[in-house]
Structure 1
Amino acid sequence: MNRTDFGDDFLWGVATAAAQIEGAANIGGKGPTIWDTFSKRPTKIRKGHKPDEACDFYHRYQGDIALVKTLGFKVFRFSIAWARIFPLGTGMPNKEGIAFYHRIIDECLRQDILPMITLYHWDLPEALSQLGGWTAFGINASFNEYVLFCAKEYGDKVKHWIVINEPFGFTSLGYMLGIHAPGASGVGNFFDAALHTAIAQADGAKILRAEVGQAVIGTAFSCSEIIPYTQSVQDHLAAKRMDTLMNRFFVEPVLGMGFPTADWDVLEKFAISHSTWRHQQRMTFDFDFIGLQNYFPLVVKYNAFIPVIQAWEVKARSRKVPHTAMGWEINADSFYRIIKQFAAYPSIRNIMITENGAAFHDKLVGHQVKDQERIEYFEKYLQAILRAKQEGINVTGYLAWTLMDNFEWAEGYQARFGLVYNDFKTQQRTIKESGYWWQKFLSK
């Protein structure tokens, strides 16, 4: 397998997120975000870690973008922190924040790196959260104001955009289960947040289309192949419900199909109470690409004691299958199958893998980080993409998660996904063996 097997136009890059790398939480006029607030709550973040400094990318962006180039990548995906542009989520924009992202974009272009902007990667301004966040109807007007500003401000230099990162991820973890910011819980909160998010991803795309000439517009979905634990009817139905929620719930409205209600009466009730034909029309957009973000398959079995979904994950560790430090199953064949599942939608013509990677127990020994497990992981997962491409599926890019070890949400600084090792005490960067593997792979 060589880089050239994927084609000359295939995009190779790394993905990052503002809240996970920038730091400078109270610098440059930035307003507080839900993750700044959430991290102050006891027991919510592993070891009490906070994103206040993160990787200090705010001050070190030139060197970090140089690392992207050193590793051989051509695309740098980063997100804009909404609260750096609008500290209160709306109203008066912040000149220092605006200038910061111009500096990042200009540095990318100077180093011949294609900048790809994610408009929303989970760090909602706290001021909007106080008004209900994604559960509040008013969030859509605020989001559209923010997107319009960014499109006008940066659209002459940036042509590749992702509207929202993993809508199911942040609405389920942050508004239903309460284990991510803002820490809300309940099915009602989830459904309200989900509706407004589904509207926002299409609204944002329509604004970009109108404002940015030659824009290449996508949105990024988390996805997992859902596998029933046994051949029982109950386990198959449990898997079907989970697939409907995790894989179909946000993409099908985009494709003009509405919410997937036929296979689950709970979603049918939600659609009746929350969604009208006007919503369906507003949630539809013909994206230039659909971003897929896959880390693991999910093996589930029926459990009557789990509210609503009545399904329970059977962990990879208990099944004694290969897994990462996060306990996530390593299964490149499943990665191939989930790509095929999304490619089966006739309206999806172009798929980009906008995140994929693995956390392991990396150790800095001397000046080296030996992470052979990660190299083997990438080899297997790239083979899966190549297999899909050879079967005619239009996969046009791959963005590795992630450039460097960072603030990994509720895991704090414990989970290391980076191609570059970061010493969070000194902010010293060390390229891991997997980073050098990429350098060699991309140079051929």
Structure 2
Amino acid sequence: MSAHNAPTRKDFPADFRWGVSTSSFQIEGAGREDGKGESIWDRFCSEPGRIRDGSNALVACDHYHRWPQDLDMAKQLGVNAYRFSIAWPRILPQGRGAVNEAGLAFYDRLVDGMLERGLEPWATLYHWDLPQALQEQGGWLSRDTVGAFLDYTDLVTRRLGGRVKHWITHNEPWCSCMMSYWEGVHAPGGKSLADAIQACHHVLLSHGQAIPVIRKNSAGAQVGITLSLHPITAASGSAEDLAAVLRHDGLRNRWFLDPLFGRGYPADTLALLGDAAPRVEAGDLDTIAAATDFLGVNYYFPETVRHDPADGPMRASLVEKEGVERTGFGWEVSPQGLVDLLTRIQRDYHPAVIQLTENGSTFEDVPTPDGRVHDAERLSYLQRHLAALKRALDAGVPVKGYFAWSLLDNFEWAEGYLRRFGLAHVDYATQRRTLKDSGLWYGRFLNE
């Protein structure tokens, strides 16, 4: 898309929320500082072979010390909302019990800094960094962790609830459960589908139980959950491949959306899971379906599937389409996929409000000798996805906000520092931040 075809801010509603997203473990650093406890990701990074470049997040972007500079940059961009996450082990080093006042004080400073700069704070309570002490007691496989999450939520929202009015309970349960307990590529590195499904149930249960706690401690708060969702298409028009789409969608999308919107777990997926189905106690599904104020959606790429009788209980495997544009991660670039996903969610679930809480791309960013970062591919990606977002709005989808992922290049989980998603380039040796061309364009878009 050429710049003259890109949307302008005036094409969107005047009260549309524009933001950037970040997460604690990926940017904060200060991994052993001021009483912070060990997280499952600290432990995972210490295990050889887990992180592609052998790195860790003990320093990351050093946001713990450089947050004023980072918030200044967000303000400079012209965003009016800033999504961040809170590090559970920074607040409760053992997961529950003794409180680390220094950790709470950091988030006091951070939230006050947002408000001073006119940035609306959007807090995510759980972005995957479970305290290691809780993992050693079973982690999300244990129902006791639900209670620990409630204690943590109560503590944080009592402290920040007067200033933070937008809360996300969990970021992407697919990643914190399926990729972490089944696919083994995220902490804690498990390889059991049954474990992943049970962990997912406990995460969703903790979401539902946390909602009244947040509302009690943060008067007038808006509360939601963020899901990573994908539009799914068949590799061919065959009946087998079309049936595979339904099965894959059952685990990938409906497994989360159905219970959150009061339908319980999808019966077809439960039947396919068999012995891997979760243990559900009386009242759990009603709790999970607690009313929320918005659904957070993270969109990156569509998925194409084919029938594969050898690929797990869903009997569906992903297919890489040929001849399509891809990011540095190998993900298909599909702005139309965003329209397809958002219109499907609206048609099937009718959420009152959708917030697009993450959208972004990674490419090989190399600064020029004069310090500029000409990331033409990311710039094009951003412009085309904002144009797609406008099409979804025109189709009646109630999207009220867009949060670019991410403000900064950061620690990209199992990829270490090999992937750069930032609107700002980070030189990890010097911690120098440089807005890329995509970030400069986003700033012009927001300030025009």
Is contact 1:261-1:267 (8 Å) kept? no
Q: Distance in 2 between matches of 1:294 and 1:320?
A: 21
Percent identity between matched residues is 38
Picking from 362, 386, 389, the partner of 1:382 is 386
Q: Distance in 1 between matches of 2:320 and 2:67?
A: 38
Match of 1:315 in 2: 320
Q: Which amino acid aligns with 1:237?
A: A
Tell me: CA distance 1:320–1:347, structure 2 relative to 1, closer, same or farther (3 Å).
closer
**1:353 to 2:331 alignment:** no
Aligned length: 441
Match of 1:227 in 2: 233
Q: Distance in 2 between matches of 1:328 and 1:180?
A: 18
Match of 1:279 in 2: 284
Match of 1:294 in 2: 299
Q: Distance in 2 between matches of 1:340 and 1:187?
A: 30
Match of 1:372 in 2: 376
Q: Distance in 1 between matches of 2:391 and 2:275?
A: 40
Match of 1:434 in 2: 438
CA shift at 1:112, angstroms? 1.1
CA shift at 1:312, angstroms? 1.3
TM-score by length of 1: 0.97
Picking from 182, 190, 198, the partner of 1:192 is 198
CA shift at 1:263, angstroms? 5.4
Say which is worse superposed, 302-311 or 160-169, in terms of deviation: 302-311
CA shift at 1:269, angstroms? 5.9
Q: Over residues 221-274 of structure 1, what are the superposed CA-to-partner deviations in whole Å (9 max), with x where a residue is unaligned? A: 000111110111221122111111111111211111101123562247655x62
Match of 2:87 in 1: 81
Is contact 1:315-1:327 (8 Å) kept? no
Is contact 1:260-1:267 (8 Å) kept? no
Matches within 5 A, 1:65-144: 65-144=71-150
Matches within 5 A, 1:43-82: 43-82=49-88
Match of 1:159 in 2: 165
Match of 1:344 in 2: 347
**1:413 to 2:434 alignment:** no
TM-score by length of 2: 0.96
Match of 2:408 in 1: 404
CA shift at 1:218, angstroms? 1.4
Match of 1:327 in 2: 330
Match of 2:4 in 1: none
Unaligned runs of 5+ in 2: 1-6
Matches within 5 A, 1:166-245: 166-245=172-251
CA RMSD of aligned residues (A): 1.2
Q: Distance in 2 between matches of 1:437 and 1:111?
A: 21
Match of 2:3 in 1: none
Q: Distance in 2 between matches of 1:235 and 1:250?
A: 23
**1:35 to 2:41 alignment:** yes
Q: Distance in 1 between matches of 2:397 and 2:198?
A: 34
Q: Distance in 2 between matches of 1:263 and 1:313?
A: 18
State the SS of the aligned residue for 2:78.
Answer: coil
CA shift at 1:143, angstroms? 0.3
Q: Distance in 2 between matches of 1:320 and 1:50?
A: 35
Match of 2:397 in 1: 393
Match of 1:146 in 2: 152
